[in-house]
Amino acid sequence: MTWPKGNKGAMVAHKEKEQTFFVLSGRGQVTIGDETCEVGVGDVIFVPWNTPHTTAAPNVELTYLCFNTLVIEPPDKSCAESYQRVASGRIARWKSGDTTAGE
């Protein structure tokens, strides 16, 4: 995942998985619940299942690997099906600056 300088993701909470981020380059911020921390190259960040979170690259580009670990059976049969289900809502929240957590 790469966030260009000045970008921030929508707040999300995944109902079927937990995530682990490994920062490859740049610097940025990760917000998990109500806590925001600065992250940089080599940092590993764990996001618990069904916990609101987002990432941001306020000053420089941020690139990280995102590992997903399923904790329950996902509702979708493929990545494409998952994208179709969640993308429009996530993009709308991102564009509007809405901080409500969604899928």
* pLDDT at residue 103 tops 80: no
Enter the DSSP assignment of 73. -
Q: How far apart are alpha carbons 2 and 65 in whole angstroms?
A: 9
CATH number 3.40.50.970 given to 2-96: no
Query: Of 2-6, 9-13, 47-51, which range is least confident?
Result: 9-13
**pLDDT single digits (tens) 83-94:** 888 888 888 887
Rounded mean pLDDT, 13-38: 96
pLDDT for 100 equals: 80
DSSP structure class, residue 33: T
Mean pLDDT within 65-75: 88
> What pTM, to 2 d.p., does this model score?
0.80
Which DSSP helix (H) or strand (E) runs through 87?
helix 79-96
